[in-house]
Amino acid sequence: MSMLKNRVDQLCGDRSALPKNQERLVFDEPWQGRAFGLALALAEQGAYQWDEFRASLISNIGAWDKTHTPDDPDWHYYQHWLASLEELAMDKALVTPESLNARTQEFLERRRDEVI
C-alpha cells in the first residue's frame, strides 16, 4: 500500500464518497487533484482538523442538495470540495477573501501561470 493511500485512509476514513475507479481516486482536471492534496496537506500540518473540513464539505453538499435535483448535470464533487477548502481557509485566516478573489481573477484572465 502506498504512503499516499495510507494518509488518505487515515485522514478521510470512509473513502466511499470519493470519486474513484477501481479503488484509485479519479480527477477529471488537474486542479481537482491539487485541491484534494492541498486539503489533506493543510489538515496534516495542523491548519485545521480533518473533521472540520469534512463538516464543511457535508454542509456544502447539503446546501446544494436542497436547491438542486439529484440528476442535475451541474453537479461536480470537487467544486464542493474546493468551496469547502476556500471557506475553511478563510475561516482559519489562511487566506483573505480579497487575496483569494484577486488570485482567482488572475487565473481567469490568464495573468497568472499555474504553479504545478
Report yes or no on whether pTM surpasses 0.75: no
- List the chain domain ranges: 28-68+78-116
pLDDT band, residue 114 (cuts 50/70/90): low
Is the per-residue pLDDT at 6 higher than 80?
no
Q: What is the 3-state secondary structure (H, E, C) of 43-81?
A: HHCCCCCHHHHHHHHHHHHHHHHHHCCCCCCCCCHHHHH
Residue 37 near residue 8, CB atoms below 8 Å: no
Neighbours of 89 (CB within 10 A): 19
**50-96 residue pLDDT tens:** 999 999 999 999 999 999 998 889 889 999 999 999 999 999 999 99
Q: How many CB atoms lie within 10 A of CB 60?
A: 19
Domain 28-68+78-116 has CATH 3.40.50.720: no
